[in-house]
Amino acid sequence: MAKQLTSRAENYSQWYNDLVIKADLAESSAVRGCMVIKPYGYAIWERMHDELDRMFKETGHVNAYFPLFIPKSFLSKEADHVEGFAKECAVVTHYRLKQNPDGPGVVVDPAAKLEEELIVRPTSETIIWSTYKNWIQSYRDLPILCNQWANVVRWEMRTRLFLRTAEFLWQEGHTAHATEAEAMAEAQKMLHVYADFAENFLGIPVIQGVKSANERFAGAVETFCIEALMQDGKALQAGTSHFLGQNFAKAFDVTFVNKENKQELVWATSWGVSTRLMGALIMSHSDDNGLVLPPNLAPYQVVIVPIYKNDEQFKAVEARILPLVDQLKAAGIRVKYDNDDTKKPGWKFAEYELKGVPVRLAMGAMDLENGTIEVARRDTMTKESLPLDGIVGHVKSLMDVIQKNIYQKALDYRKSVTRTVDTYEEFKVEIEKGGFLLCHWDGTPETEEKIKEETKATIRCIPFDGDKTPGKCMVTGKPSKQRVVFARAY
Amino acid sequence: MAKQLTSRAENYSQWYNDLVIKADLAESSAVRGCMVIKPYGYAIWERMHDELDRMFKETGHVNAYFPLFIPKSFLSKEADHVEGFAKECAVVTHYRLKQNPDGPGVVVDPAAKLEEELIVRPTSETIIWSTYKNWIQSYRDLPILCNQWANVVRWEMRTRLFLRTAEFLWQEGHTAHATEAEAMAEAQKMLHVYADFAENFLGIPVIQGVKSANERFAGAVETFCIEALMQDGKALQAGTSHFLGQNFAKAFDVTFVNKENKQELVWATSWGVSTRLMGALIMSHSDDNGLVLPPNLAPYQVVIVPIYKNDEQFKAVEARILPLVDQLKAAGIRVKYDNDDTKKPGWKFAEYELKGVPVRLAMGAMDLENGTIEVARRDTMTKESLPLDGIVGHVKSLMDVIQKNIYQKALDYRKSVTRTVDTYEEFKVEIEKGGFLLCHWDGTPETEEKIKEETKATIRCIPFDGDKTPGKCMVTGKPSKQRVVFARAY
């Protein structure tokens, strides 16, 4: 078959690339590092968007839209932020092209140079806090709970579809608060929203925790994260939420009059997830046959394929399928009926396996006689013939079963490769096998840096849950408050 | 009151600016020509987005996402296109900043100059057709019916919030077809979708027609448009749909093998509406008290304000309001209950008038006694006391009544300022009064250009409907096939 994927065992990285291309999720574009998100990939992203948007609104947030461009000087206002983001970014220097005087085509018009260069936003803290300055005078103007759905650009040198692209789509929440406690609670609340979304919608188990100083967002006081584990044993940061303290309020002079009539700096958070989640999704569940989608997320949850040898059989089968399509839709199931007669059933089966449709129903002449229908599950690759009677209820309950199974499978895998390691010697051996390693660490950036240099492993997070027994750092032997999560990461 | 607007009669342009700012729709940003869309403005845009997206999907379209950047050389590939779009655009020339060696802040790193400059998309035909080249081999790959929701940048010199901004949000449909007839039908179908949306959702009557050559999209064979009339008598182009012929297929060498096994160039359309619709919405319906929103579009269709003198009254009133809120929601009405006790009812009334909420309900102690509620309509600024009994049904039916009334009012206004004019002398007098003028024109760009230079009026469109009686051009006396629509325009 033309669409066969490289197997994961053979070459995991190639398998990922094959899958993204062959399942029509995305492809590289003519612009270095920028991707085209194809309709099927975009439909999955839209499902993520819609569910997250619902969750944000349910927790009191509203959407807004801020400019694509950031004046260069804004980036320098927060010292750590500029260090983290100014380096690799797209810089707009001119605002006009003109006919090439020396040949064909167009050239940049040197007369149209901007007085101050504009940066295509790599993240929007600076432009948003320069705006919030005008929105906030008194404690009555707080909190501000805004989210933005947008494209951002970070000029990455090595790019991979969804995982690391120069342009990507994301949402970025930016909130402003009167007190430190409220901002801290917000940052943690949104982390929990992300964890809930990842686990219950994407079926991806995540560890929630706080980043070490080395891995903190540029400009944050504290960065919280959800960390997922891919099937190759590498970690992937699936979302972050930052407590920004008063850093951006200071940088942009954003103050408010509190209830006691005193001027104070405003407290901030920001939080985001991106099209990188598409990569996390693919690498958490998919197999050598293609994508595996949890039913909550799947653009189509069920596909129905008619099996027939002639037009008469086709008509008879279709007469039974059409009412079923309506019944499934009425039961709230997203269903596709594929009656394209230029494609063979075998081709369709492979295609929908590749695309990860959770349930495939097939009905032929024999089924008509027997009053049955073939039900195939994508997650287990099993199929069975079931009575047509009651099939809607069965399919509906299958949605839950599959959603849970996909999550459980990922969780079981994670558990199987999460180990406690006590010595650095053992660590060096174990890290080669992948997975999460729970180890004691002395809390210093120096030790973390040494481990990273020697093993390519980083501290994914200091987990909220889990064993809080103190111990001794596996490298330096100095005291450690609790085990932290190490892994090699995407 | 602090939020009072300049009246339309006094200064229409200032009234518009005041309204956009004071109703919290949008504001200027620190970046020249770029706006911040504030949460209330964005909520209205989201309603437009959701409804259009539903309509696009219902007509068989899917969403995708293409890169923000366009290589400079792509723009030159279609001769008319580059003429129209290359002039005023944001040009990315570098991909890195570095610490300023001579002082504070960051500077562009001259070592990080791009080999080929990138243009921030002003529209995406070129990048999309360079992509479609790889998607299309055979007639079986057609049609492609993609839409994209995106931000675009056109470096406008004079900007106005929503109406003309350097960056704006829009959707752009880009379709590929095997035949000319199919592409032409698609371009017209999408124009009808826009007209349906404008009239039935936004309550804005529009004239559908085709643009004269002077007003055609750069790169199109034919441009169709919907034209609306603002309250000051100026026209506003509210959406366009282009039949692109084979121009972009030629430019990017996009061919397919047809059913007869012959290589052919692909046929194309593109169509778009933008945040400019926010401007059309505001200037079609709003009044000196603020925004007037049609119920289909309003983020909140109903606001409920409790009236009370003390806590006891408040509790009694609220006890009646809360179940009503639930009943209205259950009836599918978007309702806001405003029990903020830091604001007086009078302030709230003015605020929701400013924000254009279609229906305001108010309930006080007297109403409790009488079993009544006060119902105020934003469109007519009328109010009446009605029995609480049956109020949900009444409010629900009011939604339809108001939606229709807003449309009818705009239609009546348009009719009142649409005139037939037969001589150029009369035209010069009448155009000063605003409105649509239906006139005979000889069909030449020269005559159109002369009229534009002398009167600032342009041909808004050659309407599909309306009088098709031939006549003589009001300027040259040459034959004219039908009257066309002239106006001064935004």
A324-337 pLDDT, tens digit each:
999 999 999 999 99
Distance CA A426, CA A476 (A): 14
Whether A173 and A63 have beta carbons less than 8 Å apart is answered as no
Q: What is the pLDDT of residue A466?
A: 81
- CATH assignment of A12-284? 3.30.930.10
> A195-209, A244-258, B17-31, B81-95: which has the minimum mean pLDDT?
B81-95
Structure tokens that stand for A351 in this block? 């295609």
Helix, strand, or coil here: A411?
Answer: helix
Choose among A214, A160, A211, A154: nearest CA to A187.
A211
In this complex, the residue of B93, B151, B342 whose CB is nearest that of residue A94 is B93
First to last CA, chain A: 31
Helix, strand, or coil here: A8?
Answer: coil
Distance from CA of A297 to the nearest CA of B (A): 16
In this complex, the residue of A27, A64, A72 whose CB is nearest that of residue B38 is A64
For the stretch A5-51, pLDDT in tens is: 999 999 999 999 999 999 999 999 999 999 999 999 999 999 999 99
In this complex, the residue of B72, B96, B106 whose CB is nearest that of residue A106 is B72
pLDDT tens-digit profile, chain B (490 residues): 456 899 999 999 999 999 999 999 999 999 999 999 999 999 999 999 999 999 999 999 999 999 999 999 998 888 787 888 877 999 999 999 998 888 888 999 999 999 999 999 999 999 999 999 999 999 999 999 999 999 999 998 889 999 999 999 999 999 999 999 999 999 999 999 999 999 999 999 999 999 999 999 999 999 999 999 999 999 999 999 999 999 999 999 999 999 999 999 999 999 999 999 999 999 999 999 999 999 999 999 999 999 999 999 999 999 999 999 999 999 999 999 999 999 999 999 999 999 999 999 999 999 999 999 999 999 999 999 999 999 999 999 999 999 999 999 999 999 999 999 999 999 999 999 999 999 999 999 999 999 999 999 999 999 999 889 999 999 999 999 999 999 999 9
Contacts 24+ apart (CB under 8 A), A466-470: A466/A438, A467/A438
Put simply, the answer to whether B96 touches A87 (Cβ < 8 Å) is yes
Q: What pLDDT band is residue A393 in, cutting at 50, 70 and 90?
A: very high
CATH architecture of the domain with range B302-413: 3-Layer(aba) Sandwich (3.40)
Put simply, the answer to whether B106 touches A76 (Cβ < 8 Å) is yes
Q: Where in chain B is the domain with CATH 3.30.110.30?
A: 418-487
Structure tokens that stand for A239 in this block? 């979302």
pLDDT over 50 at A1, yes or no = no
**Chain-centre distance of CA B7, in angstroms?**
23
Chain A residue numbers with beta carbons less than 8 Å from the beta carbon of B30 are: 67, 71, 74, 127, 130-131
**ipTM higher than 0.90?**
yes
Choose among B212, B214, B235, B232: nearest CA to B224.
B212
- Which candidate in A21, A34, A36 is best for mutational testing of the B interface (most B CBs within 10 A)? A36
**Which residues of chain A from 136 to 195 reach within 8 Å of chain B, CB to CB?**
140, 146, 150-151, 153, 155, 167, 169
Choose among B440, B477, B446, B479: nearest CA to B462.
B440
Average pLDDT on A390-405 reads: 98
Shortest CA distance from A34: residue in chain B: B67
In this complex, the residue of B63, B69, B118 whose CB is nearest that of residue A42 is B63
Put simply, the answer to whether A97 touches B74 (Cβ < 8 Å) is no
Put simply, the answer to whether A92 touches B90 (Cβ < 8 Å) is yes
Q: What is the fold of A302-395? A: Rossmann fold (3.40.50)
For the stretch A137-146, pLDDT in tens is: 999 999 999 9
Distance CA B132, CA A273 (A): 29
Whether A283 and A16 have beta carbons less than 8 Å apart is answered as yes
Put simply, the answer to whether B36 touches A66 (Cβ < 8 Å) is yes
For the stretch A433-463, pLDDT in tens is: 999 999 999 999 999 999 999 999 999 999 9
Please give the interface size between A and B, counted as residue pairs whose CB atoms are below 8 Å apart: 190
Instruction: Say yes or no: A104 contacts chain B, CB-CB below 8 A.
Output: yes
In this complex, the residue of A72, A105, A153 whose CB is nearest that of residue B68 is A153
pTM for this structure? Answer: 0.97
Helix, strand, or coil here: A328?
Answer: helix
% of chain A surpassing 90 pLDDT: 93
Instruction: Say yes or no: B65 contacts chain A, CB-CB below 8 A.
Output: yes
Distance from CA of B13 to the nearest CA of A (A): 24
Shortest CA distance from A166: residue in chain B: B67
Put simply, the answer to whether B95 touches A90 (Cβ < 8 Å) is yes
Q: Is omega for the bond preceding A143 within 30 degrees of 0, making it cis?
A: yes
Q: What is the pLDDT of residue B1?
A: 45
Average pLDDT on A249-253 reads: 96
In a 13 Å sphere around the CA of B397, the CA atoms on its Cβ side amount to 4
- Which candidate in A53, A91, A139, A300 is best for mutational testing of the B interface (most B CBs within 10 A)? A91
Put simply, the answer to whether A90 touches B118 (Cβ < 8 Å) is yes
Q: For residue B266, give the DSSP letter.
A: P
Q: Where in chain A is the domain with CATH 3.30.930.10?
A: 12-284
pLDDT over 80 at A79, yes or no = no
Structure tokens that stand for B370 in this block? 């009488």
Instruction: Say yes or no: B105 contacts chain A, CB-CB below 8 A.
Output: yes
Structure tokens that stand for B253 in this block? 């060498």
Chain A residue numbers with beta carbons less than 8 Å from the beta carbon of B75 are: 97, 106
Average pLDDT on A371-384 reads: 98
Instruction: Say yes or no: B21 contacts chain A, CB-CB below 8 A.
Output: no
**Which residues of chain B from 409 to 468 reach within 8 Å of chain A, CB to CB?**
none
Structure tokens that stand for B483 in this block? 């009257």
Average pLDDT on A75-82 reads: 83
Instruction: Say yes or no: A131 contacts chain B, CB-CB below 8 A.
Output: yes
Helix, strand, or coil here: B335?
Answer: strand
- Which candidate in B22, B76, B106, B170 is best for mutational testing of the A interface (most A CBs within 10 A)? B106
Choose among B182, B206, B183, B184: nearest CA to B194.
B206
Residue A22 belongs to what H/E stretch? helix A12-22
Q: What is the pLDDT of residue B79?
A: 77
Shortest CA distance from B34: residue in chain A: A67
Q: Is omega for the bond preceding B345 within 30 degrees of 0, making it cis?
A: no
Helix pair B180-196, B39-58: axis angle to 10 deg: 140
Chain A residue numbers with beta carbons less than 8 Å from the beta carbon of B81 are: none
Instruction: Say yes or no: A69 contacts chain B, CB-CB below 8 A.
Output: yes
Instruction: Say yes or no: B343 contacts chain A, CB-CB below 8 A.
Output: no
Please give the order of strands across the beta sheet that includes A436-440. A62-63, A144-153, A167-177, A267-274, A235-245, A222-229, A207-210, A458-463, A483-487, A436-440, A418-420
Shortest CA distance from A109: residue in chain B: B87
In this complex, the residue of B65, B67, B86 whose CB is nearest that of residue A97 is B86
Q: What is the pLDDT of residue A3?
A: 66
Structure tokens that stand for B81 in this block? 């296109």
Distance CA B149, CA B173 (A): 9
CATH superfamily of A418-487: C-terminal domain of ProRS (3.30.110.30)
- Which candidate in B21, B28, B29, B167 is best for mutational testing of the A interface (most A CBs within 10 A)? B29
DSSP string, B351-379: HHHHHT-SEEEEE-HHHHHHTEEEEEETT
Pick the CATH number of B24-285 from 3.30.930.10, 3.20.20.70, 3.40.228.10, 1.10.287.70: 3.30.930.10
Shortest CA distance from B157: residue in chain A: A95
List b or e across A15-29, with b for residues whose CB sees 16 or more CB atoms inside 10 angstroms. Answer: bbbbbbbbbbbbbbb
Task: Give whole-number Cα distances, A54 to A57, A190, A299, B37, B245, in Å.
Answer: 5, 13, 17, 20, 41
Tokens 């620190």 appear where? B30
Distance from CA of A329 to the nearest CA of B (A): 15
Put simply, the answer to whether B76 touches A29 (Cβ < 8 Å) is no
Put simply, the answer to whether B90 touches A69 (Cβ < 8 Å) is yes
Distance CA B32, CA B21 (A): 17
Distance CA B5, CA B15 (A): 6
